[in-house]
Amino acid sequence: MSGFKIAWFAQFPERAVIYPDIPKDVELTCEQQKVIELAEEAREAQLHTWFRWCVNKSKKNRSLKKKLTVFDNTLQPKRCAKSEAKIYSELYYDERIKPLVMAEQDAGNELLEDETEEIKAEIHEKYEEQLTHKKRTKHEKNILDDDADNNDNEELDAEAIMQGIDDLPVICQCFAKLVKQKTRFMVSFMFAGPDPRNDWDMTTLSCHPSETPQGDSFAELYQTADSDFLAAFQLYAEQIFPGNKWKPDNKAESSEIGGIAEEESEEREEDGEECEEDGDKDEQGEEDEPNAQSTDVEEESQLNVDEGEANQYMESAIPIPGASLGDASDA
């Protein structure tokens, strides 16, 4: 993507967005150039995501070979016929099997007491792992349950969310085939939500698995309509997702940032006090050192402001058309 990257930033320079008031012939400072580089890296990642969904026509059947992950487990849960022993256990457990189990458990407790400390430690470790796993899955519910539609079951891990987004084309294609098989209907999909790959900014995607006999999808024949749908759907999604809750760990990160800011403030105060003491000790040659320290602080503060500006203008730099997953089989 290097050639495209050069052409893109030549036509849509990030400098024109972040520093519109600085003439092109004026050389930027090192701090400002660093902000530009960060902005270009973020834009390149955004372009990679967009092209991954919208292009990739050469791998039409790749998604057919992909494991269906969560979607397969949801619509086609693995079941097998119960064995005769299982049926017997369910019908006569209390009166026939439970006494034997309790006797074996008591014997196991006696044997465990006589084991070495090493074996006891190993058993205790396995026991703690079991408790940890049980606590983690205690409140989990089937995603198809009527009472499971709540925010407590939402995925919060960024890696898992990105994997789920990557699985959307496969999910859409399989569900579309199921709908076609059961109803002879065709179906399209629209998705919107905070995207970890886009710094948790709102991302809107569409997927149109059906094609005309000529091999054209809805997005290819009606690009304007598809973009209009996505724009309206994003406005709708932004009403559902409050801006301050786009990032799952927003509160935790805010606390960390606040703690870092406090530490930096304390360090700056200590540095200022040291500079004042040095100025008192050496009145002739050291009077300008506090001013130098203050200048360093101002430059560091300006760098932080510049980085904030880069993040602020990142998504408003060059608006990319409404992203579309295109054909689910193309992903």
Give residue-wise pLDDT tens across range 307-320: 444 444 333 333 34
CA nearest to 317, candidates 232, 199, 235: 199
Name, in order, each residue with C-beta under 8 angstroms of 64's C-beta and a sequence gap of 6 or more.
173, 329
| Identity of residue 243 | G
Rg (CA), the chain: 30
Quick check: 302 and 27 in contact, CB under 8 A? no
> How does residue 94 score in pLDDT terms, banded at 50, 70 and 90?
confident
Length of the chain: 331
Q: Is the pLDDT of residue 327 over 70?
A: no
pLDDT digits (tens, 9 = 90+) for 295-308: 454 444 444 444 44
Interacting residues of 14 by C-beta distance below 8 A, sequence separation 6+? 36, 39, 40, 43, 317
Contact 35, 310 (CB under 8 A): yes
Q: Whole-number mean pLDDT of the chain?
A: 70
The whole-number average pLDDT for the span 168-189 is 89
pLDDT for position 264: 55
Q: What 3-state class would DSSP assign to 246?
A: coil
pLDDT, greater one: 4 or 256: 4
Name the one residue in this structure whose structure tokens are 């749908």: 229
Q: What's the mean pLDDT in 161-180?
A: 88
Which pLDDT tens digit goes with each residue over 35-46? 888 888 888 887
Give the pTM.
Answer: 0.36
